[in-house]
Structure 1
């Protein structure tokens, strides 16, 4: 599994929550915070692993907002400094993301990029012990009272990872890391990775468009963080019903070009406005999540074909991505 491109497509077929509100967190003056002055040597040349306090992550709200428990037991919401990921709960404004067209395709692409950023954050941060590092230029709290911090996990600065992986834009503000963060965003834009794929091909992130009368959307995240075979739930296919009619997916299948096939269980329904994510690895099925239970990665980072077939053997759609 090779490239680091998140391939996303909105495909319509006949049968087809308080997150990135970064702009409101204008830095206020520092508040008094007791820290335990822990520090860990970085394992990468690009990540700063110094931290002022160690906390427990109890919820990942979206790509740039988490909730934590402080050493004294207090619960805090943390807004990640210097980054802004696309919205998943509200609408996106394409002109905030350089080069992304202000079109329906552009907004839809950013929406999917927001979900990809949230999934990336959940994979890296959920239920983890992490470090927080504050920035004297930004202050410790924003306008809404949220902590403003760099998050350190596994010896890496997660805020910076969001930028290098193309999951976030640099959020222009006063902070010590400004020059490095601006350079990271520019590099990701030039490579067209992550959300910056939305700036090409009219806002579509790969593949060819196919439209019919109704509304099932399909997207794929093929490149999981790290080794794909060691992070099977970091890759997934997601279906969304943008139409007005519920779809009974009982017996429908999802397969790749090599013939690996997943079959939806009886009673699987995708209601209007709902999303259903099929993860490659193992987990507990829910109304919005299904787990394939594979022992190895399925979706090729360099390109593959998704085929969705109905219970009576009819091809509902095929989607090839590069």
Structure 2
């Protein structure tokens, strides 16, 4: 079962829940430190193809760890990206990822599903470190779990700071874009998994410029996630390189950066297993720009003693068309989040 979680804003006239796209195309947008990416997909079902894809560099101060700091700069870059890549749609699926994005698994007494939303409004606050009034919040029902006394409902909760969401959305609005769906970036990666990967227990590690996310997934369901600042920028700093040079370095990553990343993955898996969850982790899948670091999968595999591979986000697409200035054969991992977001827009 694949959980496709949408954050549906629940306040204000401008925050209407738009639902799925009804047209045959969708655009996913990822705003990262130093770069903005967009992917346009067309089609439906098993006949989804890539219509356009591109990225544009932005000044590092414009976005910090997933939070837009210079809206005018981001808006200008988005307009240029749309023009350069020939993206046809103005309505987008925006990915959001920062240290104030939260994901929790909650269990509640079994109640009719129609009463679940009301119950969560009263109980969700206990699961987050920020007052629920300051959050944009949503949930997805995962199913029932058997307990000693009675069956309970298992629910996936997601939330993000409202002020940060508004700041990022305002940058898109200034670019003339309309955000129809707001999604958690790392959850979007679930839509790029193959059927075999969805049936497994694995760790998804997305190494972006500004942040790294670690997500443990079992049978297509996210069970645990962490957002850490140990990212490609951290690696570039330790290697004394410009950010653009870091992913192109010809030597394998080594030293403290690699050890720290391996330890973060290891501790996340240990925490998950300590909760009494069954099923050992069978593999690690890497995505994001940092996944292209030469020799990283092999070095992490040595450290973690489990298979480590780079995620292929194109594996579920029926056809890949040439993208403007982007070699997705080489840089596909960079666009994994965007592809997952666009698939969300198609209702995949």
TM-score by length of 2: 0.26
TM-score by length of 1: 0.28
Q: Relative CO higher for 1 or 2, CA cutoff 8 Å, sep ≥ 6?
A: 2
Greater helix content: 2
